[in-house]
Chains A and B, each alone.
Chain A
Amino acid sequence: GDSVTQMEGPVTLSEEAFLTINCTYTATGYPSLFWYVQYPGEGLQLLLKATKADDKGSNKGFEATYRKETTSFHLEKGSVQVSDSAVYFCAPRFYNQGGKLIFGQGTELSVKP
């Protein structure tokens, strides 16, 4: 069935380091792909999205490319900041399941100065 697998955390990086959080999915169709972020003490908010193959979502220096051939949507940022410390969730939206998001288990990122 449709599912998502996300890199486990926690991840600890120094400021200005490169970040990659892996996300892969299995699907019978072509889902829309989302990354959500949850900052400490705050609610979930959309970070970026991509709705079709080869689309690149970007926001706040983060990027993710919809790779149909590898069914992946890895999140990357070239230079992380302390303020990026949060939990990141990969979430495909499978339209044959009523459009609900299926969330990965979340990756906690901690950036040290």
Chain B
Amino acid sequence: GAGVSQSPSNKVTEKGKDVELRCDPISGHTALYWYRQSLGQGLEFLIYFQGNSAPDKSGLPSDRFSAERTGGSVSTLTIQRTQQEDSAVYLCASSVGGTANTGELFFGEGSRLTVL
């Protein structure tokens, strides 16, 4: 597609349920990033993929959070046993990787997660 696509745009779930958030990056972008934006706070880095590998998972807040990327394209962020503090907007971004990297990250519209 023309831009980074995320789904669902809105998700309301009950505490303790699992959720999956999907990101479809710009075609040809090998680097993919997940960030979290909580109300009144900045953007918190979660995880970075280069191709299907995740060389930097340092921002995942707990082992309830995991992410994968398949075919060097679509990525899924999974949150198990959701807690109320997981409520946030989850943003995905992609960029050209490797030596062609011009630096800009392109962001999706985000998935707003509300845990009741």
Contact = CB atoms under 8 A, between A and B. Distances in A.
B56 A97 contact: yes
Given A44-B91, A103-B43, A106-B42, A98 B55 contact: yes
Given A43-B109, A106-B42, A98 B91 contact: no
B107 A100 contact: no
B50 A34 contact: no
A34 B110 contact: no
B56 A100 contact: yes
28 contacts: A34-B104, A36-B107, A43-B107, A44-B43, A44-B93, A45-B107, A46-B104, A51-B103, A93-B105, A98-B48, A98-B55, A98-B56, A99-B31, A99-B48, A99-B97, A99-B101, A99-B103, A100-B33, A101-B43, A101-B45, A101-B93, A101-B105, A103-B35, A103-B42, A103-B43, A105-B41, A105-B42, A106-B42
A1 to B, nearest CB: 11
Nearest to B35: A103
Contact of A32 (B42, B48, B97, B103): B103
A99 B95 contact: yes
A10 B25 CA distance: 32
A32 B101 CA distance: 11
Interface of B: 31, 33, 35, 41-43, 45, 48, 50, 55-56, 91, 93, 95, 97, 101, 103-110
A103 B38 CA distance: 13
Interface residues of A, number: 22
A49 interface: yes
A104 B44 CA distance: 9
A89 interface: yes
Contacts of A32: 103
Given A99-B95, A101-B105, A43 B42 contact: no
